[in-house]
Amino acid sequence: MASRLAPTITPDTAFFWDGLKEHKLLIQRCAACGVLRHPPRPMCPRCNSLDWNTVDIDWQGRGWDRGLRGIAFDGETVYIAASDELFAYTPGFRLIGSWRNPYLRHCHEIAVHERRLYLTSTAFDTVLGFDLDAREFCWALHLASHQFQFKGNVFDPRAPDGPLPLNKLHLNSVHCTEGGLYVTGLKTGGMLLYNGTRVQMSVELPPGTHNAQPFRDGVLFNDTEADALRYSGRGEGREDRAMKVPRYPADELLNTNLDQTSIARQGFARGLCVLSSSVVAGGSSPSTVSVYDLAANTRLLAVNLTMDVRNAIHGLAVWPYD
């Protein structure tokens, strides 16, 4: 059998082969419009720009820098956040563009309100604002705490004088309404409200909470340490609901021999979206989406996508397109 000819290395493809030597998979990206392209070539097929850079895929467990962290919609545009980058797609998942910012690191959740998309930047204890019309990062709120008193400092993420990296609060949830910006972290002690002037505690929540958001007259959230989705009402009767996420026999799980610090353990509750006034969907590990009836305080159904513990739900949203 004749041997295959080695590929010709050109100035446009050298980066790819150099990356493989360092055990990296580098993909060519247009510097003008953000479109990824492979195999490498000199000109962007979308905007005809000759300027390009590269992005690499991180193969570590639990997603880390290659994991997808949230999904939101604006008209006919689907926004999906990775750890350090925001991507925009058509409903058919054709890439429109992508954006990075020096203050976006370890994003955990995104949310759209009016003409701005908000992202938690966990490594900076910051919430970033992305202008959906200008398509640029335009606003940021850095949160700090001292003896359970919280302070918010607004800064320009386009300027070089922002905060230093600090993951003290581990911000993992963001939700915005007319009443203000709601933010929750593993170490905030509850759901914080920024009303445009100051930060205050809206409601105390258990440690380890994810995806907290105002709902009806209370708060809906994943009580991650308790492996449950919860709703706590604050009106008459103080309605309280707690529904356990699914768990599976240990012998059905895959890749359980991995380092447990690099995966989301079984039952880890994360990902939440509202389907109606009494029905919600929640995510859990390994890769399970469940539907819950709050009125009946029960789980209606659960769909498991894979038993591989390396895969976990991070964000959920109702698909708005046909």
Contact 144, 125 (CB under 8 A): yes
Neighbours of 139 (CB within 10 A): 16
Contact 84, 105 (CB under 8 A): yes
Cα 74 to Cα 57: distance, rounded to the nearest angstrom: 27
Structural domain spans, the chain? 20-57, 62-247+264-304
Q: Is the peptide bond before 286 cis (omega within 30 degrees of 0)?
A: yes
257-313: pLDDT as tens digits: 877 676 888 999 999 999 999 999 999 999 999 999 999 999 999 999 999 988 889
CATH of domain 62-247+264-304: 2.130.10.10
Residue with more model confidence, 314 or 236: 314
Report the range out of 146-155, 175-184, 308-317 with the highest average pLDDT.
175-184
Q: So what's the pLDDT on residue 3?
A: 61
Phi, psi values for residue 260, rounded to 5°: -65, -15
Cα 317 to Cα 305: distance, rounded to the nearest angstrom: 16
* Short-list 284, 260, 278, 322, CA closest to 62: 260
Which residue bears the tokens 């009402």?
Answer: 233
Single pTM value for the model: 0.81
Residue 203: left if φ>0, alpha if ψ -120 to 50, beta else—which one? beta
Q: What is the DSSP letter of 43?
A: S
